[in-house]
Amino acid sequence: MRKDLGSLPAVFPMPVLMVATYGDDGKVDVMNVAWGGICAMDKIALNLAADRKTLKNIRAKQAFTVSLADEAHIKEADFFGIASGNKMDDKFERSGLHAVKSDKVDAPIIQEFPIALECKVAEIRDSFGEVKVVGEIVNVNADESVLDANGKINAGKLNALMFDQFQMNYYKVGEVAGKAWNAGKDLMKK
């Protein structure tokens, strides 16, 4: 039996994205964003509330990085979601994490997160009471520890976090369930 639950943002899993920018003062700002994802081969879309410091920084610098949060840094990733850069001037410093400047865009790369998408702004527009930011991915920077022997990202090594808005939990990406573009091949024969 099925039950109607009404209108909910019922998509799972949702990646736990760390969006990093520089403020006008050069300070690193990081925000935990659940409402975002790939929207084209070289584009990522983020939905942000209009009052976010990170959005102000994105507008000013026209650049940002997006990192995938991992299990090893769940405490810091969650902190970036509950602390506001508008109210906490030392937010990044409190995390104990480290940043280096991207050499591709005017934004920081958080060293502890295994992957960073270096993005320049492609579009910013108001959408449904929030602001949609579309970034052009100009480079993906990855720690060698998450690469396979061919230099490709191995999702199994990431221990990437996923957000569950139903129960307000984080999960980590685990084992392979099947091969994409292969698991359904038998149905093509009918």
Burial 56-84 (b: 16+ CB within 10 A, else e): bbbeebbbbbbbbbbeebeebbbbbbebe
Residue 137 in this model has a pLDDT that exceeds 90: yes
pLDDT at 102: 98
The alpha-helical segments, DSSP class H, found in 135-178 are 155-158
The pLDDT confidence band at residue 178, using thresholds 50, 70 and 90, is confident
CATH of domain 14-188: 2.30.110.10
Tokens representing 149? 């022997």
pLDDT at 177: 82
Between 9-23, 61-75, 90-104, 134-148, the lowest mean confidence (pLDDT) is in 9-23
Alpha carbon distance 18, 34 (integer Å) = 9
Q: What is the pLDDT of residues 102-131, one digit of tens each?
A: 999 999 999 999 999 999 999 999 988 899
Q: How many residues in the chain?
A: 190
| Contact criterion met (CB below 8 Å) for 116 and 67 | yes
Of the spans 47-51, 74-78, 156-160, which averages the highest pLDDT? 74-78
Of 190 and 2, which is predicted with more confidence?
A: 2
What residues are paired with 135 via a beta bridge?
A: 44, 121
Give the residue-averaged pLDDT of 12-26: 94
Residue 12 in this model has a pLDDT that exceeds 90: no
Q: Where are the domains of the chain?
A: 14-188
